[in-house]
Amino acid sequence: MSEKKKTSGAPQMLGAKKQGMTDTNLLLVITIVVFFAMYLFAIVFLGEGFLKTQSFLDMLGTSGGLIITACGMSLVMITGGIDISVGGVVGLVTMCCAVNLDQSGGNIVTSMLIALGIGLAFGLVQGYLVAYLDIQPFIVTLAGMFFARGMTTIIHANPFNVQHEAFTEFRTTTVEIPGAGYVAEKTGKYIPAQVEVGVLVALLIVIILFCFLRWTKTGRNFYAVGGNKQSALMLGINVKRTKFLSHVICSVLAGIGGYIYFMHVGAGSPQNATGMEMDAIASSIIGGTMLSGGVGNIIGTLFGVLSLGTIQKIVGSAGLDDAWWTGITVAAMLCIFLVIQSIVIARKKKALK
User: Domain locations in the chain?
Assistant: 3-352
CA atoms within 13 A on the CB side of 112: 8
Entry pTM:
0.90
Read out DSSP for 290-310?
A: -TTSS---HHHHHHHHHHHHH
pLDDT, tens digit, for every residue of 256-277? 999 999 999 999 999 999 999 9
Class of domain 3-352 (CATH, top level): mainly alpha
306-350 pLDDT, tens digit per residue, is 999 998 888 877 766 666 777 888 888 888 888 887 887 777 667
How far apart CA 272 and CA 15 sit, in angstroms, is 44
**pLDDT tens profile 132-168:** 999 999 999 999 999 999 999 999 999 999 999 999 9
Query: What gap in Å lies between CA 186 and CA 334, rounded to an integer?
Result: 41
| Sequence-ordered list of residues with C-beta below 8 angstroms from that of 124, at least 6 positions apart, any chain | 248
